[in-house]
A and B are shown apart, each in its own frame.
Chain A
Amino acid sequence: MSGLRSTSGSTNGKNYDSIMKILLIGDSGVGKSCLLVRFVDDKFNPSFITTIGIDFKIKTVEINGKKIKLQLWDTAGQERFRTITTAYYRGAMGIILVYDVTDEKTFANIRQWFKTVTEHANDEAQLLLVGNKSDMDTRAVTYEQGEELSKELGIPFIESSAKNDENVNEIFSTLAKLIQEKIDSNRLAANGTGKDSNLNINSGSGSSSKANCC
C-alpha cells in the first residue's frame, strides 16, 4: 500500500505541483495545534483552543522549485476513535510525532503513538519525532533522550519551540523534503518498469471518483 501520490498540477489550473498529506499526533497539550498555527499563520497563543476530533490546515511550500501543497491534519490528543483514525491515517505521507519536553509522560507515550502509526499508516509514510516547548525552563526530557529515542525508532528528530518560532519551519520543510525524496526515488524505480503507476496505486477513491464522474 503506497500512500505516495503526486498530483501533477501544471495542467489542471491549480497553483501547486503536488499534494502532501501530513498528520500531527501526540498527547493532549504538547502543542500540535500551536506548531501548525505558527507554521501556517505565523502566530502564537500560549493557550490554544482544544482540538476536537480532527482539524485541517493548508500551506503551500516550495521545494526544489516545485510548489507543494501541504495538507496538514491535526488530531485531538485524547482521540482514540479507531474508525476515524483509520480514515485519518489513510494516504498519510508524513507523520509528525510530537511530545512536550517539559512533560515526561508525553515523551513516554511516543512509543504508544509509534505503535498506532505502524498499525494504521502505510509503510512508506515518512515519520518525524518532535520535542516541542524547547524554550521552557522546566525541561524534563533532555535533547539527548529525544535523540536516543528517535535513533531507536529509526526516525529523524527535531526540537522546536512554537512560542519562540524555533525550528518550526524546519519540521515541515525537513519532512516535505524527505517525502519528496521518497517520491522521486519511487518514480525512478517506477521508470524502470514503465509508467509512474506505482505512485498512484493508493490515490484512493479520490482519483477513482474523478474517473467515475467524468
Chain B
Amino acid sequence: MNNNNISNTDNINFRELALTKYGTIQQLIQQGIWRGEFYSKGQLTRNDRGWLWKTIVLHSDLDCGPDNNIKNNNDNNDNNNDSNLLPVPIVTDDNADSPLVGEPTSKNNGNGNNDSSNRTHNNHNDDNNKSNNDKANDTGKKLNRGIRRLTPIQTLSHPLNKNSINEGNNATKNTVVDDESISMSLSDTLDIIDLDLSRLLLDPIFQENKVHAQMRQILYNYMIILQKNEELNTTIKINRNYQQGFHEILGLIYLQLYQTSEDDDRIAMMNILKVYTKLMKQVVPNFYTRSSLISWETEKFQPILEKCSTLLYDKLYIQNDEFSNLIWLLRWTRLLFIRELPMDYVVIIWDHILTFQYPLDIFMVCLIITLLLNIFEDIIDEDEDADNDELIEKLLHYKKTSGVKLIDCVELCKIAGNLCELWSYENYEDMMCICDTFVKVRVGEEKFNRLNEILKDKAARKNANSNVVDPNRKRLEEKLKNRVKRLTINFKR
C-alpha cells in the first residue's frame, strides 16, 4: 500500500521539530496542540498525526509526571508490545450462539482462543495475513449460509405462521426486551462487524481484504476487552455489545496509525487497539449507553447550553419537542463529529480530544455548543413558518448548514476548552459573555439585541400569564373571604 500523502523526509522533519521544540509531552500538548503551533505550517499528514496520537495517548499512560520526556518515550515507543492480539475465532455451529466472553453455550470455549475446530493455520499476523483473509472470507460465506441476525430482538416465530398471530399479540408486553442487557452472540457480533466494515467508506483502503481482516480482528479484541473490563463497571450499567459506530471511530484511528513507518503490522495493530481502547473508555459509557446518553443530555448538555446562550437554549429546548434534540445529538456524539464536519476539521478536534485535558462528556458539550454558535443565525431562524423538523434537518446536515462559515478549528477547540474550564469553576457569567460576544460578532449587535428583546418579552408574557388567577379560583376565594368576614362579624357580636 502506498501512502500518497507524504514522503518520509517530511515525516521525520515534523517529528524532529516536535522533539527538539518540546521537552515534555505536556509541552507538546499545550503548545503544539492547544496553542495550535502544529497547525501553523499547514495540515498534518496521516503519518505525522499517527505519531502524534501514539505519543500523546500511549505515552501519557506511562505518566511520569511533567518531566515525562518525549524523546525517551519515543524510543520506547514500539518495544513494549509483549502481547499479541487474539485471533478471531471461526464461527461454527458449536460456538455461534456463545457470548464473546464468559460461559459458552457449547462444549467449545468461546473466549476467542478457541481454534481447535479450525482447519486453517492459526492466524498470526506475521503470516502475511493470508489466513486472516481466508477467515474473513469464510465468515463472509457464512453470512449467506443461513440467516443473518442483525436485529437484537428476534421474532419467536415465522411471520407467515398463522398460529403466531395471537401469540404475537399476547406477547406484546413481554417483547419489551432491553437489548442492551442481553449479550450479543459471537456470530451476531461478527456478522454485524462484517456488515459495517464492508460499508465503511472513510477511505478506499477499507475495502481491501487485508485491512478488513485487521479491522475485524482489532474490533474483536476490543469487544473482548469491553466485555471483560471491570474498570468500566462504575455506578452505571453500560452497554457492552458491539454497536454501529464503533467501526467508524476505529477506522479514523486506523487511518492515522496503520502505516507509521517504523511499525510492522502487528505492532501497528496493537497501537491502534490501545489508542482506540483509551478513547472508547470515555465514549462508550457516555454516548453508547442509552440511559447515560439521556442523562448526559439533561444533566450536562442542557444546563451548560442554558448558561452559554439563553437564545439557543430557548430555541432548542423551550420551543422544541422534548427529546427531539437527541435525534441529532446521537450521531454527533457517537461518531465524535466524523460525519458532521470536513475531515481536516475532525482530525484536529480529535487531536484535542485525545489530549484528554477535559472530561470528554463536558468537552463534547462545549464543542457542540461552539459549533452551534457558528450556525447561530441558521438556528435562530426568524422564519415563522420554519418548523421543528427543519431545525433537526439543519443539525443533521451540519456540514451543509455551516458551509464556509466555520471558524478556524483550533480557535473552535480553544473556545470549547475555555468553556469547559469556566464550567468547572462555575463561572457562568464569563461563559455567557464568551458566547454572546461570539454571536454579536457573527450576527451583529443590533440583531443580537433584538433577538434578546423578543425572548425577554416572551418570558415576561409567560410570567404575566401565570400570574393571572383562574376565575373559578378567584370566585372561590371571594366566597371564602366573605364568609370569614361574616363569621368574624358574628363573633364580634
A residues adjacent to B (C-beta < 8 A) = 7, 12-14, 19, 21, 27-29, 47-56, 58, 71, 76-78, 80-84, 86-88, 90, 103-112, 115, 119, 138, 145, 148-149, 152, 204-207, 209-210, 212-214
Contacts and interface: CB of A to CB of B under 8 A. Distances in A.
A100 B392 CA distance: 29
Contact of B149 (A13, A90, A105, A214): A105
Nearest to A13: B385
Interface residues of B, number: 58
A86 B330 contact: no
B144 A213 contact: no
Given A48-B199, A80-B152, A108 B158 contact: yes
A27 B392 CA distance: 24
A119 B175 CA distance: 11
A69 to B, nearest CB: 10
B333 to A, nearest CB: 10
A2 to B, nearest CB: 17
A109 B331 CA distance: 25
A52 B151 contact: no
B321 A53 contact: no
Interface string B304-336: 000000000000000111111011001100110
Contacts of A19: 389
A109 B157 CA distance: 9
Contacts of A51: 244
Interface in B387-410: 387-389, 392-393, 396-397
Contacts of B155: 108-109, 111-112
Contact of A110 (B159, B245, B247): B159
Contacts of A148: 160
Given A47-B201, A48-B199, A207-B387, A58 B393 contact: yes
Given A87-B327, A103-B147, A52 B334 contact: yes
Nearest to B461: A212
Given A78-B151, A80-B179, A84-B327, 13 more contacts: A50-B200, A53-B330, A71-B393, A76-B244, A77-B151, A78-B244, A81-B290, A83-B323, A108-B158, A111-B164, A152-B159, A152-B160, A207-B387
Given A104-B147, A214-B384, A50 B153 contact: no
A13 B321 CA distance: 25
Contacts of A87: 321-324, 326-327
Contacts of B159: 107-108, 110-111, 149, 152
B330 to A, nearest CB: 4
A54 B144 CA distance: 27
B172 interface: yes
Nearest to B178: A80
B458 interface: yes
Contacts of B153: 80, 112
Contacts of A115: 168, 172, 175
Interface string B351-380: 000000000000000000000000000000
A17 to B, nearest CB: 13
A83 B294 contact: yes
B172 A47 contact: no
B456 interface: no
A82 B153 CA distance: 13
B225 interface: no
Given A71-B389, A206-B387, A210-B384, A54 B151 contact: no
B324 A29 contact: no
B154 interface: yes
Given A206-B387, A212-B319, A50 B196 contact: yes
Contacts of B48: none
Closest 7 CB pairs of A and B: A206-B387, A53-B330, A105-B147, A47-B199, A28-B150, A209-B319, A111-B159
Contacts of B199: 47-50
B458 A213 contact: yes
A55 B207 CA distance: 24
A149 B196 CA distance: 29
Nearest to B462: A212
Contacts of A50: 195-196, 199-200, 244-245, 247-248
Contacts of B330: 52-54, 81, 84
Contacts of B392: 56
A45 to B, nearest CB: 8
Nearest to B389: A71
A168 to B, nearest CB: 19
A21 B389 contact: yes
A54 B158 contact: no
Contacts of A83: 290, 294, 323, 326
A12 B386 CA distance: 10
B483 interface: no
B280 interface: no
Contacts of A149: 159-160
B274 interface: no
A44 to B, nearest CB: 13
Given A14-B385, A87-B323, A210-B385, A53 B331 contact: yes
Interface string B286-309: 000010001000000000000000
Nearest to A48: B199
B335 A52 contact: yes
A48 B154 CA distance: 24
A149 to B, nearest CB: 5
A205 B150 contact: no
Given A78-B244, A80-B153, A12 B385 contact: yes
A80 B195 CA distance: 18
Nearest to A153: B159
A92 B200 CA distance: 30
A53 B327 contact: yes
B339 interface: yes
